Structure 1
C-alpha cells in the first residue's frame, strides 16, 4: 500500500488531486488522504493568503490541521499552492516524492527538501495555453490580424502594412526558439504539425533526447538562430545570465524581414534595443505579451509604433489551466517514474 497525501485549495480541488493521485503508475495499491488549504475562502481572501506565502514562504501561513501527523507515513505529497513547511517535512520519514502543480516554489521549504534529498516535481500549469498563444502571436504579427482589427474598428479599411514586402504563409517561415524547456517543446510540437521548419538554441538541452521525443528541431548556436530565423520566439527564464540577453547585438543580426515574439518575460529583452530596431524598421515587427512595466503606461514609446502587436500578459489565461493542472502533474510524474528523467524535476 502506497500512501499519497493531497492538499487542495480554492483554485485546485482536493477531489481533482485525489483523482490524479489514483492514476499514478506506482505499481502498488494507492491510498489517498485528502486535506484542504483555505478552499472555503473568497477569491480576494485567498489572494491575500497567496501574497502571504509568496512574500514569507511556507512558514508564513498555517498548514492544514492534522497534516503534520499524516506526513509520518506518507510516500507521496501532491499540492497546488498549499504550504509544504519545514515541520511537515521534518515529520516525513518515508516521503519519496513531492509534486506541485505550479511553476513557482515560494510555498515549498526548498532547503528542507534539499537536505532530505526528496525529488521535487513541478509543472508549468499554463504551458499549453502559452504555447497556443505563441503560435497565435506569430499569426497575428506576420499577417496583421490585430492591426487590421484595430483599424477596422475605427472605420479604417487598411490594406497596406509595414511588413507588406515580407508577408507569406506560416509554412514558409523558419522559426527559431531561444529556450527549449517545457513550453518551448510544446511550441515545437505545434509548429511541426503546421509544417514549419524549427531551429533552436538551448545549451542545457540534449538534442538526442528531443529527437527521441519525436520533435523535429535543428539545434544551432545563438547567433546562428538570430541571423537565420524568420521568426524568433523567446522561451527562457529570467536569470542574471538571461536578463537583457536579447541585446542590440543579437537584434542587429536579425533579417529585415524577421519578427520577434516574446511570451516569456520582458526582462530577457533589451527594451531600448528593440524599440530602436522597430522605429528604424531594421526588423519586420514584434509581438509582446509581456511588458517591462505592467500595465503599460500611456507614454510608453511602444504605443507609438506601427509594427508591434501588444497583449496584456494573457498568454496563460484560460478557464481550465489551473483547475486541471493535477492531470498535467500526474502525466509528468508518471513519465518520470517510467524514464527516471524529467525537465520538470527541480535540481536543488
Structure 2
C-alpha cells in the first residue's frame, strides 16, 4: 500500500503519528500543487491520500483521474474541497478526523490585538532600529460585532466580554433569544456593520455567504473599524476590501484566509500597511495536528482491517 501525506508545509507529519505501524510506503508532499494536472500526475500511484484540510481540492474530475485511489482521509470532520458523493460513486472511501476550535478562536484574538495595538508595525519599528510608531487603540468599551454566532463566534464573544467589550451579532437564522443566550445582542445586518468597532467573520462558506461582505457592507463601517476574517476568504469580496483599505475607508483588516492560497507573491494584501496578514494558521497548532495525524493513522488502519471509521457521507 502506498500512502501520500499532502501539504505538510511544516514537515511535521511523520513526527506526530506512528505511520510505521501501517507497514506501508509513505511519502510526504510538503509544497502545494500548482494545478489539477500536477495533482493527478503526482498522486496517480497512491492507494491512500491524507489531505490537510482544504489545501488541495478533490473535485470529481480529479478523483476520476486517480484510478488507484481507494481511501481519502481529510484532517477535520468535513472538507468542502472534496466531492464526497463523487468519491462514493467511484468506490473511494472518505474519512475524517477529530477537531477542536480553540486554536482558531485564539488566533482571532491575536489578530484583533495585533490590528488594534499596531503590534506588527511596532515590532517592525524595533527591528529597524526605531521605537514607537503610530497610535493604537484599546478594546475596553468598544463594540465587537460578530458575523455568525455559532461555535466559533460564541467562543470569540466569551473572550470579548473578558476585555470589557459590548457584543452584537447577526446571521441569517440568528434570533434575539439565541443571541442573548450567547451573551450578545441581536442586530440587523446593516446595524452590525455600522456599529462594530471590530467586526469578526465566523460563517461557513456557502453559496449564500460567498461575497457576504462586499463594497456596500464595507461602506457602512466606521473609518476607525477593524475587519477580521478567520473563516474563509471568499466570504469577503477581496477587491472591495483592498479598495477600502487602500482608500482608508476602514482602519485595517486582520486576515488569515484568502481567495487563493497560498497568497500569490506580489498580492496587494502582502504589502498594504493597514493589513495584518497570516498564512491560514487558525488551525495550525501542535496539539490539533497531533489529533489530525493520529486519527489519520487510525482511519487507515481501520480501513485496512475492513472496518473503516469516521466515514464522511
TM-score by length of structure 1 reads: 0.61
Of 85, 100, 104, the residue aligned with 2:79 is 104
Structure-1 separation of matches of 2:23 and 2:199: 42
Say if 2:179 and 2:186, in contact at 8 Å, map to a contact too.
no
1:293 aligns to what?
Answer: 260
Structure-2 separation of matches of 1:126 and 1:231: 24
1:267 aligns to what?
Answer: 234
1:70 aligns to what?
Answer: none
Of 303, 315, 320, the residue aligned with 2:282 is 315
SS in 2 for 1:314: coil
Structure 1 residues 146-181: Cα deviation after superposition (integer angstroms, max 9, x where no partner): 11112221223242x2xx3xx432222211011122
1:153 aligns to what?
Answer: 127
2:110 aligns to what?
Answer: 136
RMSD (CA atoms)? 3.9
Structure-1 separation of matches of 2:161 and 2:170: 17
TM-score by length of structure 2 reads: 0.67
2:145 aligns to what?
Answer: 176
Structure-2 separation of matches of 1:273 and 1:283: 11
Larger Rg: 1
Of 243, 248, 269, the residue aligned with 2:215 is 248
Structure-1 separation of matches of 2:206 and 2:155: 22
Alignment: residue pair count = 255
- Gapped runs of 5+ residues in structure 2? 6-12, 33-42, 44-48, 89-95, 294-311
Q: CA deviation at 1:208?
A: 3.2
2:298 aligns to what?
Answer: none
Structure-2 separation of matches of 1:242 and 1:60: 36
Structure-2 separation of matches of 1:297 and 1:111: 30
Structure-1 separation of matches of 2:150 and 2:24: 32
Say if 2:169 and 2:179, in contact at 8 Å, map to a contact too.
no
Structure-2 separation of matches of 1:101 and 1:308: 29
- 1:1-348 superposed matches below 5 A: 41=26, 43-44=28-29, 49-50=49-50, 54=58, 55-56=62-63, 61-62=69-70, 82=73, 101-104=76-79, 125-159=99-133, 161=134, 164=135, 167-209=136-178, 211-212=180-181, 215-324=182-291
Q: CA deviation at 1:50?
A: 2.4
Q: CA deviation at 1:38?
A: 7.8
- Gapped runs of 5+ residues in structure 1? 1-8, 15-35, 64-80, 84-99, 114-121, 327-345
Say if 1:178 and 1:232, in contact at 8 Å, map to a contact too.
yes
Q: CA deviation at 1:321?
A: 1.1
| Structure-2 change in CA distance of 1:101 and 1:175 (3 Å) | same
